[in-house]
Amino acid sequence: MFGLFRKRDDDERAAPVEPWPRIPVAPWAGGGATAEAAALAMPSKRRPSVPGVVFTVPEGRAGVPLADVLSFMEDETMVLNTTHGPSFYAVWTQAWPKKSGTGVGDMLEGEAPGGLAFLSAAVEAPPTVVLRDAELASFRAWVAALPS
């Protein structure tokens, strides 16, 4: 009788996690950065993981949910903040005028527009990786080809 109304343990309610991506995707590499498609753990019992991209740059290795990466690639005024691992930022160089009066703007001073720069979250040094031209086009194509 008690078994019918017994509260389930959290482990019993958690749905099994499908690996993502289901078909392996080769990592992307260029300009001193790499990106890998991977499932990111989420602090939620309903959804234990989400599709994501794990970036490795000299500032660290950290992940970002795929939905955030896709939004970032479409809106060149956004700043992408890593959320799973040490924090660093990805910023579009054209989004920061040379005299913006911000830490990011100061660090991007002298950078030509049209690139994707990776900065430490402390914004204490110029970017060590800036993707441009063919490398940026290659990265955009890799992101666009990821399964959603």
| Cα–Cα distance for residue pair 10/30, rounded to 1 Å | 42
Q: How many domains does the chain have?
A: 1
Is 18 a member of any domain?
A: yes
Is 137 a member of any domain?
A: yes
Is 2 a member of any domain?
A: no
Residue 22 near residue 38, CB atoms below 8 Å = no
Residue 148 near residue 51, CB atoms below 8 Å = yes
**Given pLDDT bands bounded at 50, 70 and 90, which one contains residue 12?**
very low
Average pLDDT in the 2-13 region? 45
pLDDT in tens, 27-73: 999 999 999 999 998 766 677 888 999 999 998 999 999 999 999 99
| Cα–Cα distance for residue pair 127/121, rounded to 1 Å | 11
**Given pLDDT bands bounded at 50, 70 and 90, which one contains residue 22?**
confident
| Cα–Cα distance for residue pair 59/56, rounded to 1 Å | 8
pLDDT at 100: 64
Cα angle value 75/38/57 (rounded, 5°): 65
Q: Which tops the pLDDT comparison, 20 or 135?
A: 135
Is 3 a member of any domain?
A: no
Is 4 a member of any domain?
A: no
Is 109 a member of any domain?
A: yes
Is 1 a member of any domain?
A: no
Enter the tokens of residue 30. Answer: 């260029």
Smallest CA-to-CA distance from 146 within 48, 53, 30, 34 is with: 53
